[in-house]
Structure formats: C-alpha cells, structure tokens
A and B are shown apart, each in its own frame.
Chain A
Amino acid sequence: MKPAPFAYKKARSVEEAVALLGQHKDARLLAGGQSLIATLNMRLSTPSLLIDINGISGLDGIAHKGGTVEIGALTRHAAAERSETIAQHAPLIARAMPHIGHVAIRNRGTLGGSIAFADPAAELPACLLALDGELEATGPKGKRTIKADDFFKGLFETALGPQDVLTAIRVPAAGKDTRVGFAELARRHGDYAIVGLAASARTTGKGLSDVRLAFFGVGATALRARKSEATLVDGDVDAAISALDLAPNDDVQVTGAVKKHLAGVLLRRVAKQLMEARP
C-alpha cells in the first residue's frame, strides 16, 4: 500500500461535497481518480479525507440545448468518445478524445476532473479555450459560471475556490460555418503531449474569422496564441507561424526551442484542417 492513510466518504449530493470541503481543509474530491490516485500512490498528495463524488446522480450526461452543448463534470472520457451529440455538435472535443490517455484510463477519467486538475499538457483545457467555453462551479454561495479564458490561472491552478465543485462544462454547439482543428505530438499514443494545438474558427466563404488557437504543453497553462490568431484571419500561415508568441521552457523530453519549432509545425497542420471544407 503506497498512499498515506486517509479517510473516505461518499458524497450523495454536490451540496454535501461542498459542506465536507468546508469542514476538512485538506480534503480532496475524488472523481475519476486517474491523476489523483497516481499522486496519492507517489505521496505527492496526502489529504486527510477523500470525498468520492462518483455516486452523485445528475453530475454526468451530455445534452445539446439552445445552441450549447452541456457536459456534466462527471462524464467519463469513454462516454464522451462514444457520444453522437459530441461528435455532431462539439467535434473538437470528439477529435481530442482519442488522444487522452488509454482505453482503461478513459473508462474512469472524467472531463471535469481533467479540467479541474488543469495539467498544462492536457487536451481538454486547450479545447475549452479554443471553443470559448465556460465552466459551472458550485460553492458555498451556490452556482456560478466562469469563462474558460478566466479559468486557468497557473500551473495546476484554476479559478476554483477551496470549497468549489466543478459541476458542468458548456461549449457553443458547432454551426454550419464552424471549423475545428486538432493535432498533437507525443512520444507514445495517449501520453501527455510534447506540444499540442486545439483550434476553432468560422469560415466566411473566402477566409476565416474568429480564429482561436490554444496550445498546450508550452507553458504553465494552455495558452492562446493571439497574434497568430489575428494573422491567420488573413490566410497567411507563414506569417501566423512567425507571429507565434510562445516561449516554452525546456522539459525532460525536448528543449523549449524544439517545442517552439513543433508548435509551428502543428499550426501549419491545423491551419490546413481549418481551411478545408467541412466533410
């Protein structure tokens, strides 16, 4: 047994989870556990209490209503991967899904967990930024909504407070003029990316508008490359690559310079996806 001892409680409602978080300052929420239990095993995390939210009904599910796709925070990656609604109305998330971990990981891991954990090399935070999505959190004062652009604050740091439970993810449903692109480079399929890019745009017939490029694996959080977004509207891919305002650090796999180069390679691939006619 590798984890340090902790107590365990199954929350029956979001309100109960919020209350428990208030009573136990170093408690952690257990959703899919695919990152948390690994950190427990390595004793990087030693909470006194785990609050298991897996039994809370109504926290999972995927719905398309009023031009928005709403995904319950407890929805498993495997369910999103199989979802017709996601495939049709949130195609960027559908494209990202197969890159997240492996089958056995996707069977347990949740979309909310991945977003709340905010790993800088994870796919979903970048997808949310690219889609201009929003997050719903429930805390002691009730529900509130946070724009994706305001959610990711720093390395593994989000706008969630110590007593907040992430409850839902909302992204605008794709329209006829929506274009999305996704690419990532990893040493092994399913690993965290060396560099990745999630993108969305609208086609105007002649070119693109509303381009949003969200890179991951290049900084403390997923990052939008705003200068390149503006340049890509003009259709000049080379200029968009030159305008990449990223300064990735070296990591155990590659140097920052290599990451920067690879970001340009991915931008070229994704720009092509954005400019192609929708199948």
Chain B
Amino acid sequence: MSGYTLDISLTVNGERLNAHVEPRKTLVDFLRDDLSLTGSHVGCEHGVCGACTVRVNGAIVRGCLMLAVQCDGATVETIEGLSDSGEVADLQKAFERRNALQCGYCTPGMIATVQDLLKRGGVPGREEIREHISGNYCRCTGYHAIVDAVEAVAQARARTQMKK
C-alpha cells in the first residue's frame, strides 16, 4: 500500500494547486516536503507543541493532526502566506523588538495562533493571551516577552482602529 496516492486540489497561500499524496502524509509534511514551505515546523508530531499551526479554511489547526488528503478543496494559509500578505507584519516586528523569540522554532506557529486571537478585535488581557497560546510551547523565552509583544500589538491595532 506504500506509494499509493490520491489526487487532491487545494489553495495554498492564494495559489491553486493539484497534488498526489499518500493518505498517511500529514498536512505539515505535505507543506514542507512537497511544497518546500518549511516555515511550518515539525515538533512533537502529536498535537502538543503547536509548532505546526497553520490556517485551514480560516481556522487555525495542527498541521500534524490533519492529513493532506483531508485538505482536498480547502484553503490553507501558512506563515509564508501570512508574511507575504503583510497581515502579521506588526506582530513580527513586535516579536523582534521585544525579544519574543530566541531560537525561533515556535515562532511561526506562535504568530499564527496569536493572529487568530487578535483578528477577533479588541485588546485581550494578559490572561486571555496566555490562555490562547497555551497550546504553543516555547522553550526559550518563558512566554513573558511573547505576551508583551502580543499585548503591544493589540493596543497599537486598537489605536489605529480608533483613528479610522
């Protein structure tokens, strides 16, 4: 059965594409190995660490707990897409400015997860930010700087919104 593939058609970062995938290939392996989108990281591969977090049909999911064949017809957005569109540019700058990363392994998943919180609007409290990133491990920063960065961006976005 190894080598048996199925045809899928999906949109990744705005680009429509067709692929043949083995059923056992997870979404994150498909993105990294077949599409060379290596921004989504592979950490624990059982849903605990959050390094593989990507958006499927607008909702964040674990790239390691979804099969590529399940994404037939889906719209997938990775950190590459979020970066290129500028959607998370302010978060990326704030992470850098506040040392909210050291090794950077968790950062793509972390950015996707906090953007999911911030795009709901409003300024979440620090507790709410912590709760939202509770499924994303960072072994370097101790999270404090990450919460600082997210809080700063939330406040800045709220100020921009008020001026409009």
Instruction: Name A residues whose Cβ lies closer than 8 Å to a Cβ of B.
Output: 1-8, 30, 33-34, 37-38, 40-42, 48, 50, 52, 54, 78, 98, 101-105, 107-108, 188-190
**Per-position 1/0 for B42-73, Cβ under 8 A of A:** 00011100100100000111101111011000
Q: What separation, in Å, do the CA atoms of A204 and B124 have in the docked complex?
A: 40
Partner of A78, one of B2, B47, B59, B135: B59
The answer to whether A189 and B62 have CB atoms under 8 Å apart is no
Per the 8 Å Cβ criterion, residues 56-115 of B in contact with A are: 59-62, 64-67, 69-70, 113
A-B contact pairs, 11 of them (CB 8 A): A5-B24, A6-B1, A34-B62, A37-B67, A38-B46, A38-B64, A40-B24, A41-B45, A48-B1, A101-B135, A104-B113
Partner of A103, one of B1, B64, B66, B135: B135
Contacts of B29 in A (CB 8 A): 1
Nearest CB in chain A: distance from B35 CB, A: 15
Nearest CB in chain B: distance from A79 CB, A: 11
Partner of A1, one of B4, B24, B60: B24
Q: What separation, in Å, do the CA atoms of A44 and B102 have in the docked complex?
A: 34
Most chain A beta-carbon neighbours within 10 Å: one of B4, B46, B132: B46
Most chain B beta-carbon neighbours within 10 Å: one of A30, A37, A78, A98: A37
Are A8 and B47 also in contact (CB < 8 A) when A103-B60, A108-B66 are?
A: no
Known pairs A2-B45, A8-B23, A50-B23. 20 more at Cβ < 8 A? A1-B22, A5-B1, A5-B22, A6-B23, A8-B6, A33-B67, A37-B66, A38-B65, A40-B24, A48-B1, A103-B60, A103-B132, A104-B61, A104-B62, A104-B113, A105-B47, A105-B65, A108-B61, A108-B62, A108-B65
Nearest CB in chain B: distance from A263 CB, A: 24
Q: Which residue of A is nearest B117, CB measured? A: A103
Contacts of B132 in A (CB 8 A): 103
